[in-house]
Amino acid sequence: MKPLKDLVRKGLWELSPYSTARDEFKGDASIYLDANELPYNTEWNRYPDPYQLKLREAFANYRNIDSENVFAAHGSDEVIDLLIRIFCESHTENIVGITPSYGMYKVCAEQNLVEYREALLNPAFGLNSHRINDAIDGETKLIFLCSPNNPNGNSFELSKVKAIADSFDGIVVLDEAYIDFSENKSGLSVLKKTPNLIVLQTMSKAWGLASLRIGFAFGSKEIIRLLDKQKLPYNISKAVADIAISHIQKPQLKENYVRKLIKERESLINKLNQCNDVLRIFHSDANFLLVKFKDSKEVFEKLKNQGIILRDRSKLPLCKNCLRISIGTSEENRKLISVLSL
């Protein structure tokens, strides 16, 4: 890895961020007349903590990581955008990702006018380090990996991810949106030894809080400081942070959802295996299944006509005739199977 200072876009390292009233004074005072807030208590009249220390501490604590290594965001999508804007010069530098994978990396790169290069996975969705290496050149700043990967749900061996990071001059972003559903080791276990690794997690999936918009990035203190400098001052509202903290404080709720969902996933696999239209179900460590059908278009339409919507992934590389099915409640899965069996 190059020194972080040399990886950041020109001028950003030296930039001083907007200093909020809450930055200028830290500690407890009895009268706050510094932020042009309404003084009457509406419950929401005060600006929130720009660094969401309580939220970061709660999640860091749950994951057994120092809170100075955690950044909280308006969904992991916010972090993806921030990282591109911190590290990649428009028009000249590039990002390498795998394909098929989560679509936001490419969209976000293009929104920022940064070239996005795709390295095809192996036919069974395994990581192909040679293709990744071939896509990298001197202008590559970021590599996006996703494990368990969306849209198919398999996990990459952590040793391979680490090897890619160790041999790369830039930053590797490992998106672990679905890690809670997986038995595999999280990238957090090698974070200390891998200074150019950033791990993304979210409360949108296993925690059941997609509408709150809460995501986290884990990385070195220096990387977290860069994210803090680049973000909007109040990227998470107090109401949302409070709800998120209350969920982090009772993780059994999430753990129960995960256990229940994995049971549903296994039972859905069994039932799908008995459906005539199904050719193949790909291994999944996540809360969805990628399924190859004889004719995905016909299946998609048949289900749609009965009010059941799947995600059509058939146009993606390696995904011909494939639909992605989010695991539903047992009732929803039963209906899905009954329509598929028609």
Ligand X SMILES: *Cc1c(COP(=O)(O)O)cnc(C)c1O
**Chain contacts with ligand X (rule: CB under 6 A):** 75-77, 102, 146, 150, 175, 177, 202, 204-205, 210, 215
The closest residue (CB) to ligand X is: 75
Burial per residue of 200-209, b for 16 or more beta-carbon CB atoms within 10 angstroms, e otherwise = bbbbbbbbeb
Question: Residue 284 Cβ, how far from ligand X at the closest point, in Å?
Answer: 12
Give 204 or 321: the residue with its C-beta nearer to ligand X: 204
Give 175 or 285: the residue with its C-beta nearer to ligand X: 175
The closest alpha carbon to 172, from 184, 164, 182, belongs to 164
Question: Residue 180 Cβ, how far from ligand X at the closest point, in Å?
Answer: 12
Question: Residue 242 Cβ, how far from ligand X at the closest point, in Å?
Answer: 18
Say how far apart CA 206 and CA 21 lie, in whole Å.
36
Place of tokens 């390295």: 119
Give 132 or 286: the residue with its C-beta nearer to ligand X: 286
Say if residues 276 and 337 touch (Cβ distance below 8 Å): no
Question: Residue 290 Cβ, how far from ligand X at the closest point, in Å?
Answer: 12
Say how far apart CA 196 and CA 277 lie, in whole Å.
45
Question: Residue 215 Cβ, how far from ligand X at the closest point, in Å?
Answer: 4
The closest alpha carbon to 204, from 67, 76, 56, 53, belongs to 76
The closest alpha carbon to 176, from 196, 195, 141, 204, belongs to 204
Between the CA atoms of 182, 188, 193 and 197, what dihedral angle is there, to the nearest 10 degrees?
Answer: 90
Place of tokens 């799947």: 310
Give 149 or 296: the residue with its C-beta nearer to ligand X: 149
Which tokens go with 221? 């203190």
Give 289 or 340: the residue with its C-beta nearer to ligand X: 289
Chain-centre distance for alpha carbon 189: 17
The closest alpha carbon to 193, from 150, 159, 234, belongs to 159
The closest alpha carbon to 119, from 101, 149, 99, 147, belongs to 99
Question: Residue 79 Cβ, how far from ligand X at the closest point, in Å?
Answer: 8
Question: Residue 246 Cβ, how far from ligand X at the closest point, in Å?
Answer: 18
Say how far apart CA 267 and CA 337 lie, in whole Å.
11
Give 118 or 175: the residue with its C-beta nearer to ligand X: 175
Question: Residue 158 Cβ, how far from ligand X at the closest point, in Å?
Answer: 17
Give 102 or 293: the residue with its C-beta nearer to ligand X: 102
The closest alpha carbon to 264, from 173, 330, 204, 325, belongs to 330
